Chain A
Amino acid sequence: MNTKTAVRLTRQLRHPLPLQRTTIISRRQVVPSSTSSYHSYDHPTPPPYSDTAKSILSASLNHIPEHGFTRKSLSLGAKDAGYLSISTNLFPQGAFDLILYYLATSRLKLQDSVHGRDGHEQQWASGKIDVKERVKTLVFDRLRFNKESGVIKRWPEALAVMAQPTYVPQSFAELSRLADDIYFLAGDTSVDTTWYTKRASLAAIYAAAEVYQTQDQSAQNADTRVFVDSRFKELESAQTGVSSVAEWVGYTTHSFINVLRSKGAQI
């Protein structure tokens, strides 16, 4: 090894990648509640964010259209909420905490769009609208929140942050929670393997629709609606295909066993 290489290596050893210096006092302070668990009706759920965190983050949302999902939005939000801009140290993941907050609050807004005033609940109570239609309605609602809050023009940056390997598990968890919430609010009660397949396919459709929405220039996001409709149609034909095959296999097996029994086989 020559001198130049030795010097270069030594410099690298003396200046390693900076370690995360921020101490996470309580992840629960900034991170929404953990993955799905028993949902109680008589026992309240503790709020996912502390009051301080909530006031800073909600104030920061207003700055997103101009400054994007950045620490700048967070510090402007902290100032608006009456805290020092250093208070953004409350969020060790910086911009990603703001993204998570936006995702969590938009997801919870779906509850209002169903159960709140002028919610879908009244229309759905008649029982004429099936679960698939309700799911589609909720997907459209959630996409509409992106546009109404002005976040959609900054969303590609957010997607880039969410795609970072450190943040992928949390982003994925939020997407799973969204799919679960949508199916729950739509009144789906399936609890077998389709629980998984439905949520996985909905998460995929929603993620694709959101990416599509970032470049959609049509009025009222009409093109995105068409995109979502086509995805749901594809899903439906795939589901019909799979269930037909499964039905055929089941029928053939039963018939075979019954024929053997009729021939006297002791099975």
Chain B
Amino acid sequence: MQSSSQKPLSLAQQEFLDRALRVNQAGELAAVLIYDAQTPPIVRQNPQLKDLMKHMYDQEANHFQTFNELVAKHRIRPTLMYPVWRVAATALGWSTAVMGREAAMACTEAVETEIGEHYNRQVQTLFKWAQDVEAKGGQVSGEMKELLGTLRRIRDEELEHLDHAVENDAKEARPYEALTGVIRTGCRAAIWISERV
């Protein structure tokens, strides 16, 4: 049963976690579909990238599964935009892959930059909550510790993908600013919408 030594979560905390996990699940869905759509055209033109694409896809699939389990476990409503994000992510992955390897890597770079910042903010918030609890002499619950650990690990893996993308000539894409600008704005809009809808 529940440990009664813990205080109830405030409404603000519950809302934060509700939104955070919903957005994270939507984000990983998009990531999985982007890699899925990018892989066939990219690997055809650049067979040397096959292992890298598979490695990144496997990690994203693992993240997606993690968040699916968390969303089900904590009874969070998934985003209503699920089918819309499915189409949008597949379209984004496919179109950047058809534009070329550099464009696909620039897409990955843009998405991972936004996602990395987004996870980092979540980690900071959860870390601050943990610090507040400990400052008052309490003990951080196992649930919060686990959540914090999971988010940290996933953030680090997303930043690793960002590094891989840059190593593979993401910055050589043309038009670099326009492409990454549009994708980053799109990501931010999608995050904002998924938090609420």
Which residues of A approach B to under 8 Å, CB–CB?
Answer: 34, 36-46, 180, 184, 188-193, 195-196, 261, 266-267
Query: Could you say which residues of chain B place their CB within 8 Å of the CB of A191?
Result: 25, 68, 71-72, 78
Q: How far is the CA of A181 from the CA of B13 in the complex (A)?
A: 22
Kindly provide the distance from the CB of A195 to the nearest chain B CB, expressed in whole angstroms. 5
7 pairs of A and B residues whose beta carbons are closest in the complex: A42-B141, A38-B17, A189-B72, A39-B75, A42-B143, A37-B14, A38-B18
**Chain B residue nearest in CB terms to A40:** B9
Q: Which of B121-145 contact A (CB under 8 A)?
A: 141-144
Which residues of B approach A to under 8 Å, CB–CB?
Answer: 2-4, 6-9, 11, 13-15, 17-18, 21, 25, 40-41, 44, 68-69, 71-72, 74-78, 80, 82-83, 94, 98, 141-144
Q: Would you call B40 and A44 a contact (CB within 8 A)?
A: no
Secondary structure type dominating chain A contacts: loop
Q: Would you call B6 and A43 a contact (CB within 8 A)?
A: yes
**Chain A residue nearest in CB terms to B7:** A43
Q: Would you call A180 and B75 a contact (CB within 8 A)?
A: yes
Q: Would you call B41 and A266 a contact (CB within 8 A)?
A: yes
Kindly provide the distance from the CB of B141 to the nearest chain A CB, expressed in whole angstroms. 4
Given contact pairs A42-B142, A261-B40, enumerate 7 new A-B contacts (beta carbons under 8 Å): A36-B75, A36-B76, A37-B18, A40-B2, A42-B141, A42-B143, A267-B41
Kindly provide the distance from the CB of B134 to the nearest chain A CB, expressed in whole angstroms. 15
Q: Would you call A195 and B41 a contact (CB within 8 A)?
A: no
Query: Could you say which residues of chain B place their CB within 8 Å of the CB of A190?
Result: 72
